Chain A
Amino acid sequence: MPYYLRKRIIDIIISIIMLIFLGLTLLPVGWMIFSSLKSSSDIAIGRVGLSRNLTGQVEVHWDNYVDMWKNVNFGLYLKNSLIICGSTMFLAMILSTLAAYALSRFKFPGSDLFSNTILATQMIPAIMYLIPLYIMFVKFTIMTGIPIKGTYLGLILIYSAFFVPFSIWILRGFFASIPKELEEAARIDGCSPLQVFWYIALPLAKPGIIATGIYLFLQAWDELMFAWVLTNGDTMTIPVGIRLFVGNYQNRFDLMMAAATVATIPVVVLFFMLQKHIVRGLTAGAVKG
């Protein structure tokens, strides 16, 4: 067999394996959507396909997507998640953009300490913060009467502080990729350092800042442990509230899968809108080593 033919056949075989693997990878997501269209009794008794009604028609339970908002207060949880994650994104991006710019452009006494501390925070288990923060919040409320536990503000502040280190790490790469000469030229033309940051660096780093912000939003969207302990019935986010579909009083796996699908949609939309930027931002740091 000639060389190029053999190579072509191997190529096709690899492509087939790849497509099979792609199918297997996407299968769980398909199963989630499929399960969300079943009736709750079908899932309970373990029927694989969709059931048929008396006239022999296949029953697709689109009404699960209507019931999920009534069964538990999912709209509230969605609203809470959007408010908390959105505010976290803005607050954390302001903090991390400033800090990342300072770290990438200035070599100042303490800059190494600061950037090492930022990396070191990634090693600390979240529960080690959570225990003192929980007790601090409870105690603070007892002492002053101002509630923090169970408010938006408490969670927004904590999330912002926690996602800032990683955003700084990504954003630094973006700022480092902007040629310094542009800023130097602006300085010579008489811009103040602040103007250079605002009119030169910020617009150039905008794609990176947006991508990092979206990534941060996704991280906050995914956070469970802090939200579990630090929210109450009114400020619950989706990961906390979604558990209520299955519990002491009911077992609505169908509604839970519908809610899970709904909770995934915003994330998927955001990600695929900005996929290129996010991928570039995440991989830039790793490849440079």
Chain B
Amino acid sequence: MASPEVLLTNLLYGLTIASALVLISSGLSLIFGIVGVVNFAHGSFGMLGAYLGFSLVMATGSFWAALLLAPLIVTAGAIVMERLTLRPLYGLNPLYQLFLTFALSLVFSNLVLLVWGGDTVSIPTPSYLRGFVSIFGIAYPTFRLFVLVFSACLAAALWLFIGRSAWGAVLRAGLHNMEMVEAFGINTRALVTAVFAVGAGLAAVAGVVMGAMRSVNPEMDLDLITSALVVVVIGGLGSFRGAVIGSLILGTAESFGAQLLPGLAKFVVWIVMAAILLWRPEGLVKDA
């Protein structure tokens, strides 16, 4: 049996994994909820954010410039992508949108290889965020604590926006019945574009923080989209609250799985997903 210290260590590690997952998966979930598209290029937004973040840190020497500018650039690109490629396909067979985003993810992969090459890079963290803080006697990396708090703040802000603001009400209404929202004279096209852009921006933020904690490489898009899809399926398609809960489940399952069932770490995640789907096929949360 693992000691309380080991359990707490794994819980903290799991929470950090979850906090990064919230950023990448909440965007995917909202895009599906509003746009009705399973966006296969969502992992690419994260990867592009990470590579742009790397280049920006190299050019400016500032991690904060990367954390701010890389998501903005990706957001701008996502708006162009949504308007030029996805918009003409709305209302058609959803498979077209699926194929399109899949094709775009391949284009982005090759774009990354072309611009940055196939070498792995990583985003340097600010020197004052290196080192440790003590949490219940456990030395925890300062940068990870920053990621945890930063992601939690972003998630809370988004939660409040969706739950309390007038635009959030429109968003929630759109998740249930887009035609009704349109009937009230609300510009749903702008709403769709905005959600797509915010989702892409959140993915890029996740790319930058993950690029600093882990590495930046041309295969990370696949890793990001796979994790995000699992989270969204567990949490419930289209639900922000579901994305948060799904991330917490996946993060802790991965962390405790590696500790308690070393050979089955990744397998545990799939077992958890299968069990949840058998219990609640629609995912854990239905609303926004």
Say whether A associates with B: no
